[in-house]
C-alpha cells in the first residue's frame, strides 16, 4: 500500500481516487472546488489546502487536470506542487497536454531531485469504473517499473511507450480518432435514416457490425439520446484535436480528417453545444442534412 497524493478531482480524477482507495492506498487530495471532493473525503480521502501540501504528504503525487493552463495553476508558485517536491518523490501527470510542455515540467521536477512520468489514459468514465482503462506511460524505464503497480490499480493495461512526452504523443494519436470515428458513424446513420431506415435500427445494426469499435459501441446510442452529463465534452475534444494538428504540423503529417472533424466541433460550439458530449457531432451533421433530432 502506498501514500499517494492526487490533484484534480473531476469526473475522471475523482473516480481514479475512488479506485485507489478501494485498493487500500492512503490518498491525500486537492481540488480547486472542495465541494466536488466531499464524496471522496467521505470515503476516507484526506484533504489538503494546496498542491504543495499534497506533495509534501505523499510519496507519489498524481495530477489529472483539464489542460496546460490548469496544470500550471497547480504547479507554479509558493503553494504549487513544484514547491513540495524533494529527493525520492515521484509525479505522475495524467493530463492531456502538449508533449513539449510535459517534458519541460519533467525537467523542473527533476531539478527538485524527484522524477516524473506522463501517463495519459485511453477510455471513458465507464471503462474506468469497469476496470478496463488503458494507461500509456512516458518517462525513464526504471521509474516506470517502480510506478507500474500503482497505475495498474487504476487500469489493467499499462504500457511504457518511451521517454517523457512520448505517451502524450500516443494519447493524441488515439484521441484524434474519436472525433473522426464519430463523424463517419454520424454520416452513415444519417445516410441510412434519410433512406427511410429508422435511426434506432441503423444504430443497432452499426454497433453490431464490423465498424463497431469500443468507442462506437459506447457512443453510438448517443445519437438517439445524449447522456445527462457529458463523458467528454466538445471543448475537451477540440483541445485534443488542436493538439493533434499542432503535432501534425511539427512532424509534417497531414491530418485531413482530423481537420474536418475539428471544424464540426467548432460548429457545435457555435450552436451552443460546447458542454455537450462530443457525440453532438451527429446533431451538427443532422442540422446540415435537414434532419431533426
Q: Are 139 and 199 found together in one domain?
A: no
Ordered DSSP codes for 31-81: -SSGGGGHHHHTTTPEE-SSHHHHHHH-SEEEE--SSHHHHHHHHSSTTSG
Q: Are residues 159 and 173 in the same domain?
A: no
- The closest alpha carbon to 189, from 271, 181, 229, 215, belongs to 181
Number of domains in the chain: 2
Same domain, 86 and 174: no
117 and 182 both lie in a single domain: no
181 and 155 part of one domain: no
Q: Would you state the pLDDT for residue 62?
A: 97
Q: Which of 173, 168, 104, 166 is nearest to 140 (CA)?
A: 166
Amino acid 124: pLDDT: 77
* Residue 160, beta-bridge partner list: 137
Same domain (yes/no): 50, 156: yes
Distance CA(181)–CA(282), nearest Å, equals 11
Q: Does residue 38 share a domain with residue 148?
A: yes
- pLDDT at res. 142: 97
Cα–Cα nearest to 178, from 127, 218, 143? 218
Per-residue HEC secondary structure of 92-103 comes to EECCCCCHHHHH
Q: Same structural domain for residues 157 and 193?
A: no
| pLDDT of amino acid 293 | 67
Residues 214 and 271 in one domain: yes
Q: CA 92, CA 288: separation in Å to the nearest integer?
A: 43
CATH number of the domain that residue 73 is part of:
3.40.50.720
Helix (H) and strand (E) counts in the chain: 13, 9
The H-assigned helical ranges of 117-255 are: 125-129, 141-152, 166-194, 199-206, 214-219, 234-251
- pLDDT tens digits, one per residue of 269-281: 999 999 999 999 9
CATH number of the domain enclosing 195:
1.10.1040.10
Which of 163, 183, 209 is the endpoint of a domain? 163
- Among residues 128, 163, 198, which one ends one of the domains? 163
Cβ contacts of 9 within 8 Å, gap of 6 or more? 17, 29, 30, 31, 36, 37, 40
Of 118, 147, 163, the residue that ends a domain is: 163
Based on the fold, state whether residues 128 and 173 are members of the same structural domain.
no
| pLDDT value of position 228 | 82
Q: CA distances (Å), 138 to each of 32, 72, 116, 198, 268, in order? A: 27, 19, 9, 45, 33
Do residues 277 and 232 make contact, with C-beta atoms less than 8 angstroms apart?
Answer: yes
149 and 189 assigned to the same domain: no
Phi, psi of 158 (to 5 degrees): -125, 120
- The low-confidence residues of the chain, meaning pLDDT below 70, are 293
Domain enclosing residue 200, as ranges: 169-289
Does 267 lie in the same domain as 220?
yes
| Chain mean position to CA 108 | 23
Amino acid at each position: 500500500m502506498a501514500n499517494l497524493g492526487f490533484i484534480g478531482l473531476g469526473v475522471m480524477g475523482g473516480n481514479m481516487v475512488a479506485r485507489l482507495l478501494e485498493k487500500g492506498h492512503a490518498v491525500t487530495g486537492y481540488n480547486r472546488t472542495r465541494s466536488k471532493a466531499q464524496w471522496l473525503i467521505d470515503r476516507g480521502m484526506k484533504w489538503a489546502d494546496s498542491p504543495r501540501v499534497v506533495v509534501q504528504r505523499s510519496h507519489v503525487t498524481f495530477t489529472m487536470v483539464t489542460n496546460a493552463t490548469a496544470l500550471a495553476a497547480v504547479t507554479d508558485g509558493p503553494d504549487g506542487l513544484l514547491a513540495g517536491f524533494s529527493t525520492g518523490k515521484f509525479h505522475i501527470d495524467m493530463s492531456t497536454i502538449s508533449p513539449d510542455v510535459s517534458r519541460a515540467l519533467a525537467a523542473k521536477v527533476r531539478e527538485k531531485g524527484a522524477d516524473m512520468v506522463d501517463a495519459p489514459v485511453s477510455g471513458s468514465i465507464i471503462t474506468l469504473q469497469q476496470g478496463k482503462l488503458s494507461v500509456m506511460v512516458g518517462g525513464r524505464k526504471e521509474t516506470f517499473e517502480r510506478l507500474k503497480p500503482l497505475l495498474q490499480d487504476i487500469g489493467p493495461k499499462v504500457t511504457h511507450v518511451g521517454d517523457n512526452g512520448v505517451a502524450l504523443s500516443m494519447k493524441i494519436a488515439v484521441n484524434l480518432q474519436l472525433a473522426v470515428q464519430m463523424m463517419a458513424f454520424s454520416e452513415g446513420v444519417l445516410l441510412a435514416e434519410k433512406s427511410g431506415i429508422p435511426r434506432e435500427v441503423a444504430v443497432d445494426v452499426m454497433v453490431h457490425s464490423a465498424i463497431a469499435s469500443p468507442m462506437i459501441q459506447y457512443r453510438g446510442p448517443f445519437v438517439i439520446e445524449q447522456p445527462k452529463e457529458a463523458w467528454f465534452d466538445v471543448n475537451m475534444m477540440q483541445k485534443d484535436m488542436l493538439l493533434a494538428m499542432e503535432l501534425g504540423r511539427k512532424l509534417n503529417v497531414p491530418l485531413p480528417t482530423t481537420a474536418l472533424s475539428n471544424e464540426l466541433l467548432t460548429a457545435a460550439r457555435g450552436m451552443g453545444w460546447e458542454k455537450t458530449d462530443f457525440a453532438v457531432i451527429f446533431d451538427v451533421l443532422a442540422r446540415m442534412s435537414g434532419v431533426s433530432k
